[in-house]
Amino acid sequence: MKAWKANGSMKSKRWSSVRAFSSTGEPSNRQDYLWLMSRTDYRAPVIEYLGGTEIGGGHITGTMVQPASPSTFTTMALGIDSAIVTDDGEFAGDNEAGELFLIPPSIGLSQTLLNANHDEVYYQGCPAGPAGEVLRRHGDRIKKLSRGFYKVEGRMDDTMNLGGIKVGSLELERVLEMHPHISECAAVGVAPPDGGAEQLVVYVVTNPGADVRTDEMKADLDRRLSRSMNPLFRVSEVIIMDELPRTASNKLMRRKLQESQ
């Protein structure tokens, strides 16, 4: 989609027969989805679907029979029940975020692992469910919004502590990618070699033809984070790249970026 926007290759295409778009894999970008929906005069929503191989499909999705908002979800997938547990160990209410746990049983949930202890990976140390159920760890951090919407904030192992506040990489990237010269970016938390508070490093792919100075971009990103998220959030370093490292299925490899520091 970013390539379509940059090179204009889809500008002359006819979109009138499109009734819906579907997206899965790497978490989405609201601005990209609004651009895609605008091709159909906003008649076709983007239906999100998120899950994993180890559960045999998805755990949260959107539908064609519920209101749709870009980069959000509206319901648990068919046959799935779940609980969102906040950092304080409570079950999330509206506008609260936490770790998503699945409530077994469900068709498709894995039973064994080839190279690890299945119970340790998915069940050990999990809290009890709202009615005392056994919970299964999945690893996504999700915010429960009002009016029945949900927003994925990334993986629990992608969260970082900035100024004493826990925040997800995806949540930061949604704000940072509003910068007019940024095509895409990756927010990574890095521990200083001599110890101390975690630092935010932002890897950036700029739009074609953009003339960018990293010091000016860093100052602008600081202002955006302060205005949209928290005045304590500061970018330690901006690193310009030709492209971000991705897996064969196009998932961003934040861990590889983190290890390069």
pLDDT digits (tens, 9 = 90+) for 26-83: 657 788 889 999 999 999 999 999 988 899 999 999 999 999 898 899 999 999 999 9
Cite the residue boundaries of each domain of the chain with CATH code 3.30.300.30: 163-259
pLDDT at 248 over 90: no
More confident residue, 4 or 114: 114
Dist CA 204 CA 187 (whole Å): 9
Percentage of residues of the chain with pLDDT beyond 70 = 97
Cite the residue boundaries of each domain of the chain with CATH code 3.40.50.12780: 2-156
Band of residue 253 on the pLDDT scale cut at 50, 70, 90: confident
Residues 6+ apart with CB under 8 A from 124: none
Percentage of residues of the chain with pLDDT beyond 90 = 61
Full-model pTM: 0.74
CATH class of 2-156: alpha beta
Dist CA 106 CA 118 (whole Å): 16
Q: What is the mean pLDDT of residues 75-98?
A: 94
Q: What's the Cα-to-Cα distance from 202 to each of 13, 161, 245, rounded to whole Å?
A: 35, 15, 14
- Residue 73's pLDDT is what? 94
- Residue 39's pLDDT is what? 93
Band of residue 25 on the pLDDT scale cut at 50, 70, 90: low
Q: What is the mean pLDDT of residues 181-194?
A: 87
Q: What is the mean pLDDT of residues 15-26?
A: 87
pLDDT at 100 over 80: yes
DSSP state of 250: -
Q: What is the mean pLDDT of residues 215-229?
A: 95
DSSP state of 236: E
- Strand, coil or helix: 54: helix
Quote the CATH superfamily of domain 163-259: ANL, C-terminal domain (3.30.300.30)
Give me 143's structure tokens: 């915010």
Q: Residue 211's Cα: distance from chain center in Å?
A: 28
